[in-house]
Amino acid sequence: MGEKQLNYLVCRGSEELRKRRLREDDHKAFEDICIPQNFCEWGLEFPEEPTCFVSIDDYRCLLTDTATGKVEGKQVDCNRKIAAYTLGAIVPKMRLYSHLFHQIWTIQDPSHTPHIYNKWIDHYSSQDFEVSLFQNEYLMDKFSHHLTEEEVEVMEKLYHQALKLQIEFFAELPTHMQALVPLFRSQDLGTQLTVFCDFDMTCTIAESTAILAGASIAVSEFYQIPSAGLRRKLRVLSNQCSEEFEECFKRIESSVQGQQVFDVDGLLSALEQVAEGEMRANERVSELRLFQGLSLEYIELAASIIILQKGCREFFRKIAENKTPNIDVHVISYCWCGDLIRSVLSPEVSIFNVHSNELAYNKGWTTGDIWRRVETSFDKFRFFTEIKNCCKTETEHMTVYIGGDVGDLLCLLAADIGIVVGSSNPNLMRMGHHFGVKFLPLFPALVQKWKFFSKGSSVIWGSDSGIIYTVSCWTEIEAFIMGM
């Protein structure tokens, strides 16, 4: 289909909707737009009694208002703008359905008996639908080139609003059987859920060490104290730590052959060697008093420039908004400053218990000494175990550990569900793979869990020997634990 034809069809489609503006009791036009024409041919039928979902009704109003030129309470008369805005409301639905049905298509068991939804799944995961989606996305992008900056922002808002309404529709769907997700629903059965989380490179996109170092340098320069020496010490320390870890891992690789099955004893031995280097590094930091002369105000200022992983704050905010006593959250971190963590996670910090190292203060200023509480993976595991044991109640208890560092390996493996976000720290994967740890994408693994569950299995989650789950982002964790 040529570009002129696409332009013509979109403009004609907008004009057709303008002529057939929906009344409250007339869903014909909406069905023509949003329901495939061969819906009934697939053996599917509309319910006799209309099922009302607030999100879909809101999406219908959004789509028809936009297509008839009513955008943000104003009337738009330019057909090209109306076409652009209408595509902004239609394309997100197509993109979401394409993604969802491709996921469903890949996990179907070909040996199972065909069901009435096969053609529905085939349609939305087909090459034809993908081509149609790309054509609409291309046209939406082309139309946006003729819009002003303010008009593009309007288009983006329509896109996000349409996508949000579609996601809310799936969240509104009733569950007719016991579900595995979101885990939050398991509280209905009296389950206590404890979420553990690392901080650096798990919540944040960069190490907090560099931010603290920058704060120390800024304080030195503010008081006109030469900072060149401090910069040099920090650079030498950073290079030394990186080189020592690499040398340590090479020794481990040369002395222990890579394993196909999980080797817990080999992993423990390797982590003991890593721990020795971690303790030496912390000793050097204390001896050099690198973080001397900081006030809580400076630390809070440093915290304000730390960037969290996309979706991280939203996840913890949702937990805070639920205000449920059945979910506990603990941050276990190597970070040298617990006040930095608490400042970064404010205002949601009220739901957190922070377990980390702490900078020592004297009359409101840091002395350079560090209260070293969490230095190694074994320290993290000790906190994890103590907290888990304290949480034991008469009800079922489930633990989730979210990590991203080599030091998180023991906790990730000991938790009922251990999750690594994105690529995080490649050294974690490197160490894990060497000792037979399997990293499985969460979604396919969840499908397999459900298959066992549907056959009557009562044990769904538990610390699987040598298995850690991976997700692409924090939003996936939010959907898994709290729902959308």
Domains observed in the chain: 3-174 (1.20.910.10), 192-481 (3.40.50.1000)
User: Between residues 466 and 51, which one has the greater pLDDT?
Assistant: 466
Rounded Cα distance, 88 and 158, in Å: 6
The stretch 362-388 carries a mean pLDDT of: 94
Contact present, 405 and 426 (Cβ < 8 Å): no
Contact present, 197 and 355 (Cβ < 8 Å): no
With CA atoms as reference, report the closest residue to 253 among 397, 130, 383, 430. Answer: 430
Q: What's the confidence (pLDDT) of residue 50?
A: 61
Contact present, 408 and 438 (Cβ < 8 Å): no
With CA atoms as reference, report the closest residue to 314 among 354, 352, 348, 355. Answer: 348
Q: Length of the chain in residues, anyone?
A: 484
Question: Which of the residue ranges 108-117, 317-326, 437-446 would you say has the lowest mean pLDDT?
Answer: 108-117
Contact present, 411 and 403 (Cβ < 8 Å): yes
Among the residues of 396-460, which ranges form H helices?
409-414, 426-434, 442-454
User: Tens digits of per-residue pLDDT, 127-149?
Assistant: 999 999 999 999 999 888 889 99
Question: Which of the residue ranges 4-8, 182-186, 319-323 would you say has the lowest mean pLDDT?
Answer: 4-8
* Peptide bond between residue 426 and the one before it cis (omega within 30 degrees of 0): no
Rounded Cα distance, 307 and 333, in Å: 17
Rounded Cα distance, 406 and 344, in Å: 23
Kindly state the helix (H) or strand (E) to which residue 18 belongs, with its residue range. Answer: helix 3-19
SS3 380: helix
Q: Is 152 exposed, middle or buried (0-12, 13-18, 19+ CB in 10 A)?
A: middle
Beta-bridge mates of residue 74: 71
SS3 186: helix
Rounded Cα distance, 163 and 453, in Å: 31
Residue at token pair 């969802």: 100
What end-to-end distance do the CA atoms of the chain give, in Å? 37
Rounded Cα distance, 278 and 270, in Å: 13
Question: 53-70 as b/e, with b when 16 or more CB fall inside 10 Å?
Answer: eebbebbbebbbbbbbbb
The stretch 375-382 carries a mean pLDDT of: 96
Rounded Cα distance, 95 and 214, in Å: 42
Among residues of the chain, what percentage have pLDDT more than 70?
Answer: 81
Rounded Cα distance, 114 and 323, in Å: 44
The stretch 352-366 carries a mean pLDDT of: 92
- pTM more than 0.85: no
**Residue 162, amino acid:** A
Q: What's the confidence (pLDDT) of residue 441?
A: 92
With CA atoms as reference, report the closest residue to 481 among 257, 326, 361. Answer: 326
